[in-house]
Structure 1
Amino acid sequence: MRSQRITTNLKVPDVETAKSFYADFLGLSTEEFNMGWVARFASPDSDAHVQLVTHDATSPEDSVISVHTDDVDGAYDEARKLGYEIVHPLTTEVWGVRRFLVRAPDGNVVNIVAHRD
């Protein structure tokens, strides 16, 4: 699998309450998206970014990072071949991504995602 970008997913009780710290204080003032349960904030001047997550909308477990790839189907096949636990099956979500969640051997849940063109 080729990782194009990795985004930290920080668990927060409320995106709007947490927003001022990350957007204002840390300077991640560009709100790339906000779906209520997940929002991504980025620096307008660098590659720094973070996602704030209250809970995953469709997966039974939350992920600690999101790994963006250009071949999510291939990554899914490889994860299954290697015997990794699939926490959330390969799905095209209504908000415009194709993804699956997999448990790393250390127990962390990782969101493997590709954006549709």
Structure 2
Amino acid sequence: MKKFLLQFFTWWSGQTLGTRFHTWRKGVRVGEDEFGNVYYEGGKDSEGRTRRWVIFPGTSEATAIPPGWHGWMHYRVDTPPSKENYKPRDWQKPHQPNLTGTAAAYRPKGSVLGAGHRPQVTGDYDAWTPGA
């Protein structure tokens, strides 16, 4: 029951009921990546191209699409990595999750949320004081 409710009311927990129905009706499985993401195509989009989509095994995380599949999803290449011997280039880094909003998020020097202390403000600014 919980899985049904998640599919019915959320888009970030795998696929919605609409996506499941569209996949059942028009989807042709193209391949799967090392993260368990499953890629489909079928039907036409608003620009007349064959629609492409991915179903994530858990939480929908767009940054978890590897470079080869990203190129296919965004119509940069016509051949999906599953139909060729795709090898990422040296400069293509492995996936790292989006850490925004977590304790491991990047916090630049001087950030209020950083571990260090914010440097003292200098300049000619004088704070307003009531009655002064």
Report TM bin, short chain. Answer: 0.3 to 0.5
Q: Which has the higher contact order (CA 8 A, sep 6+)?
A: 1
- Structure having the higher helix fraction is 2
Bigger Cα Rg:
2
